[in-house]
Amino acid sequence: MIEIHNIHKSFNGKKVLDGISGVFETGKTNLLLGGSGTGKSVLLKCIVGLLKPDIGSVTFDGTFFTNNKLDIRQEIRRKIGMLFQGSALFDSMTVEENIEFPLKMLTDMSKSDRKDRVNFCLQRVGLENANSKMPSEISGGMKKRVGIARAIAPNCTYLFCDEPNSGLDPQTSLLIDHLIKEITEEYDITTIIVTHDMNSVMEIGDKIMFLHKGKKLWEGTSDNILDTDVKEFKEFIYSNRLMRDAKTVEDERDDRV
Ligand SMILES: Nc1ncnc2c1ncn2[C@@H]1O[C@H](COP(=O)(O)OP(=O)(O)O)[C@@H](O)[C@H]1O
Ligand SMILES: [Mg+2]
C-alpha cells in the first residue's frame, strides 16, 4: 500500500499540486486520471522520488520515503518498477539485454539466473523467442510488453506506468491494460497508472483518483463512476462520446422503470 499525504508542488511560483492525499491499494490497479496538464505525471514523479514535493509525504507499506535516510530510500527504490511513456527502451540493446539491464544493476544474480528470469518475463508478456530482436524491429505494442517485462524483471513490489496506452491502437491498448492488471493481481503488486483514457478506466479501474488543476476532486471505482456529481469530473467523463451514449441508454432505462 502506498499512502500520500498533503502533497504540494510548485514550479517557479506556479502551483501544480495543491495538497493531494490518498491511498493506493496492493494487488490493485490504481488509476490517476485527469486531463492533460493537471499534474498527473508530476504526482507520479513525486511518489517515485524523481521529484521532491515542497510539502507532504509518501509512505511505502508504512515506511516513510520522503525525507528518509538515503539507504532506506534506495531500498524502496529497488522495489519499484517503472514503465515510462513511450516505453523508453535502450535502442542499441536487444530485447533480452533491455530486460537484463535492471537485473545487472539491482541484483547479484548469476548470468544463467538472469537468463532464466529474462525468459520467464518474456514468456509472461507473451513474447517468448523475441530475445535477439532490436527495439527498432518490433511494433509499439511489443515495445510496451518489453517495457513491462523490464519493469517486473527484478520482482517489483510497486509498479508505476505513465500513460501506458499512448500511441497504441484501441485493441492493443486493451491487451496492455489487461496484461498490467493480470500481473498486478498475480504478483500482488501495488500498481499506479497515469491515464486520461476512459476505456482504461472502465476496463481496469479498481481504484480511481480524478485530478483537476492539482487537486483530487473525486475518488472511487469504475462501478460508481457514473454516480458522480462533481461537475469537472462529469465534463471529463462525458467528453467521451461512448460514455455519453451509455449515459443516455441508462437514463432512458431509468425513465421506463
Ligand atoms: N520540471 C518542470 N518544470 C516546470 N514546470 C513543470 C515541470 N514538470 C511539469 N511542469 C508543469 O506542471 C504542469 C503539470 O504537468 P504534468 O504533470 O506533466 O501534466 P499531466 O497531467 O499531463 O501529466 C504543466 O503545466 C507542466 O508544464
Ligand atoms: Mg503526463
Assess whether the C-beta atom of 56 lies below 6 angstroms from ligand 1.
no
Least distant ligand from the CA of 39? 1
Q: Which residues pair with 10 in a beta bridge?
A: 15
The DSSP-derived string for 161-180 is: EESTTTT--HHHHHHHHHHH
C-alpha cell at 185: 493481481
Assess whether the C-beta atom of 52 lies below 6 angstroms from ligand 1.
no
Query: What count of other Cβ atoms lies within 10 Å of the Cβ of residue 15?
Result: 15
Mutation probe of ligand 1 site: the residue of 8, 10, 12, 16 with most atoms within 8 A of C-beta: 16
Assess whether the C-beta atom of 40 lies below 6 angstroms from ligand 1.
yes
Domain 2-227 CATH assignment equals 3.10.129.10: no
Asked if 181 and 205 touch (Cβ cutoff 8 Å), the reply is no
Residue 257, pLDDT score: 67
Least distant ligand from the CA of 12? 1
State which ligand 1 atom lies nearest to the alpha carbon of 162.
23
Assess whether the C-beta atom of 214 lies below 6 angstroms from ligand 1.
no
Assess whether the C-beta atom of 37 lies below 6 angstroms from ligand 1.
yes
Q: Going by DSSP bridges, is the β-strand pair 80-83/158-162 parallel, antiparallel, or unpaired?
A: parallel
Contacts of 188 (CB under 8 A, 6+ apart): 26, 27
Per-residue tens of pLDDT for the chain, all 257 residues:
999 999 999 999 999 999 999 999 999 999 999 999 999 999 999 999 999 999 999 999 999 998 889 999 999 998 999 988 777 899 999 999 999 999 998 889 999 999 999 999 999 888 988 999 999 999 988 999 999 999 889 889 999 999 998 888 888 889 899 999 999 999 999 999 999 999 999 999 999 999 999 999 999 998 899 889 999 999 999 887 777 777 777 778 777 76
Q: Where are the domains of the chain?
A: 2-227
Least distant ligand from the CA of 166? 2
C-alpha cell at 134: 532490436
Nearest CA owner, ligand 1 atom 27 = 37
C-alpha cell at 35: 486531463
C-alpha cell at 46: 513525486
Report the chain's terminal Cα–Cα distance, integer Å.
Answer: 42
State which ligand 1 atom lies nearest to the alpha carbon of 214.
14
Distance CA 96, CA 5 (A): 39
Nearest to 46 by CA among 27, 81, 20: 20
C-alpha cell at 48: 517515485
Phi, psi angle pair for 234, to nearest 5°: -60, -45
Assess whether the C-beta atom of 16 lies below 6 angstroms from ligand 1.
yes
Assess whether the C-beta atom of 11 lies below 6 angstroms from ligand 1.
yes
CA–CA distance from 239 to each of 75, 113, 188, 198, 236 (Å)? 42, 49, 34, 10, 5
Distance CA 212, CA 117 (A): 40
CA of 141 to the centre of ligand 2 (A): 19
Assess whether the C-beta atom of 36 lies below 6 angstroms from ligand 1.
yes
| pTM recorded for the entire structure | 0.91
